[in-house]
Every structure is written in C-alpha cells, then in structure tokens.
Amino acid sequence: MKVFIDRHSYIFHRPRFFRQKALLLTTVGVMGDKDVLDYLNAVARIWGFEVVARAGIFSHAKMGPLPAYRLRENEEKLQAAAKAFLAALRRETPRRPGFFDVMAFHIGRAPCDELGDRSPADHAYWAGKGWFEKGRRYYVDVPVNPVYHALGAVAEWYMRRRVRRDLREVG
C-alpha cells in the first residue's frame, strides 16, 4: 500500500475522487490498526474520497487461531463497516466537508497557485477545475461551514505569504 500511495503521490496536488466513497480496511496481528487507519484516512480524504467506514480487524496468520471473542469483534466490525458503506452508496446528496477537508483545500490551493510557473501541471489542473476562482470555498459545490471557510482562508493567506517569501529567498 505504501508503494501504491508513493506512486500516486501527485494526487495529493491534483485530488480527483470527490464523488467516490471509501471503506478503509486493515488487518493486524496484535496492534497498530488505528495508526494505519488514521494514515489511510488522511490520504483518502486529501485525494477527495468520502471515507464512510473504517475497520481494523485481527488476523491469525502468524499467531494461530483467533479466540472466539476476536472472531466476533471482527465480524461485528465488518458488518458495521459494510452497512455504513452501503448506506453511503445509497445516499444521493454529497456530504458536507469537515474541517480537515476544508483546510486541505485552502492549504493546497495556495502553493498550487503561487508556484504556477514552477509547477505548471498542478496549476493547470486547479485552474481547469475553477478552484482558483474568487469566492471558491471547496473543490465541489457543497455547503461549507462558514467558520471552517474563514479559518481555511486565514491558513491559505499564511501559506501564500510563506511561499512568496521562500520564492524571494531562492531567487
């Protein structure tokens, strides 16, 4: 999975999966599922996916048979994730972006705009999507919490200042 994410890292700058739903699933022997799911959640959301369910289940590949309570936990987690995923697929209205999502938009927009001549593919992608337009609040036309937008605009202003300063120093 790490290699897959690395090979597709350009999508961090050119997100595209805004109408897609994601169910994140990981297996672990003993521990670590939360950390992996948190990382995959961040990647998927920055790429534009709506993460509708997450499940970390225990595997018995190296440890021998799982105890009955672990098997029940796994089954319950999988059933809950599948139910949430199916409900999201049936939902016709797009979800409202959360704080993380709005911040990712604003923080990503600043360098893609300011570095247009140094990163023309990213700039052209964002321009082609209309994401540089004045008043744009998010990648897709959905209601955005005004507080999230205001905080995102401040973060974007700050990022633009940093990029411009860095460009001046580099020359």
Residues 11 and 56 occupy one common structural domain: yes
Each residue's pLDDT, cut to its tens digit, for the chain (171 residues) gives 889 999 999 999 999 999 899 999 999 887 789 999 999 999 999 999 999 999 999 887 666 788 899 899 999 999 999 999 999 999 988 889 999 999 999 999 999 999 999 999 999 999 999 999 999 999 999 999 999 999 999 999 999 999 999 999 987
pTM of the predicted structure, to 2 decimals:
0.85
Residues 76 and 12 occupy one common structural domain: yes
Residues 82 and 136 occupy one common structural domain: no
Asked if 6 and 43 count as a contact pair (C-beta separation under 8 A), the reply is: no
In terms of Cβ atoms closer than 10 Å to its own Cβ (0-12, 13-18, 19+), residue 56 is buried
Largest alpha-carbon pair distance within the chain? 64
Domain termination site, one of 90, 117, 150: 90
Tokens of 41: 């959640």
The answer for residues whose C-beta is within 8 angstroms of residue 6's C-beta and 6 or more apart is none
> Structural domain of residue 19, as residue ranges?
2-90
Q: d(Cα 144, Cα 132) in Å, to the nearest integer?
A: 17
